[in-house]
Structure 1
Amino acid sequence: MATVKPRVLVVEDNRVMADVVRFNLTRADMDVKVAFNGRAALAAFNAGQFDLVITDYQMPEMSGEELCRAIRGGEHNALVPILLVSAKGYELDIQGLVEEFSLSRVLFKPFSPRDVVETARSLVEPAASPGGTE
């Protein structure tokens, strides 16, 4: 029986960073779609079904915060895990963002690709993570 790969939407305007994240998640057996700005990400999100969204905070056309607001505003989008990444850790109200958008996790740049993969796995395979439930 074939297993279904988790579908991950990566939203990152830095193409090198997007490629690094895509490469590592693909190696971890995930199906990855990349969008380079928030508007393109929202269109991709609305057109497909994703198990996880990994989004940068600061992007052109639509920020990560605006993207999270748009995603969470959808009728069936409350349960999709969102991982926010940012280089502005000291400038953001992280706790406020986590609470407002039910963020699953926040990572600060620079981050290890291993951290992204481990975090993504824990969010798309909760039963496999410590303390996870089915």
Structure 2
Amino acid sequence: MATVTPRALVVEDNRVMADVVRFNLSRAGMDVEVAFNGRAALDAFNAAEFDLVITDYQMPEMSGEELCRAIREGNHNTLVPILLVSAKGYELDIESLVQQYSLSRVLFKPFSPRDVVETARSLVETVASPGPSE
């Protein structure tokens, strides 16, 4: 049986942070594409299939919230798990964001690369696992 490599879209305007996340997810066996703003991420998302989106909240051109809205309102893979990361933990209404955009998880910066990898694996495995009726 062939193993499918999970594909993750990492959206982060800080290039060092993007490289750290990309490196750790790649080491964990994922195929990772990086976008440095929300608009580029939406273009990438609409052009390919991803098993997970990890997006920063505050970015130029299109915020993480706007990206999440566009993904959920779009016609392409609207059920993909989304992991939102933010340094604005105390400023955001996390419960509202989670409900409004069906976010799978929210992590606050600074976070450990291990937390991102474990969360990403968990989200991808949850989606890939057949349900009880399948």
Shift of 1:77: 3.1
Query: Normalising by structure 1, what TM-score?
Result: 0.93
Shift of 1:76: 4.2
Aligned partner of 1:85 in structure 2 is: 85
The Cα offsets for residues 4-54 of structure 1, whole Å up to 9 and x where unpaired, read as 110000000000000000000000000000000000000000000000000
1:49 equivalent to 2:34? Answer: no
Map 1:1-134; keep pairs closer than 5 Å. 1-126=1-126, 134=131
Quote the Cα distance in structure 2 between the aligned partners of 1:38 and 1:49: 17
- Root-mean-square deviation over aligned CA pairs: 1.5
Q: Is the 2:7–2:49 contact (alpha carbons within 8 Å) kept by the matching residues of 1?
A: yes
Gaps of 5+ in 1: none
2:94 counterpart letter in structure 1: I
Shift of 1:79: 1.3
Q: Runs in 1 of length 4+ with deviation above 6 angstroms?
A: none
C-alpha spacing 1:76/1:53, structure 2 compared with 1 (3 Å): same
Gaps of 5+ in 2: none
2:34 counterpart letter in structure 1: V
Quote the Cα distance in structure 2 between the aligned partners of 1:87 and 1:23: 21
Shift of 1:78: 3.0
Query: Normalising by structure 2, what TM-score?
Result: 0.93
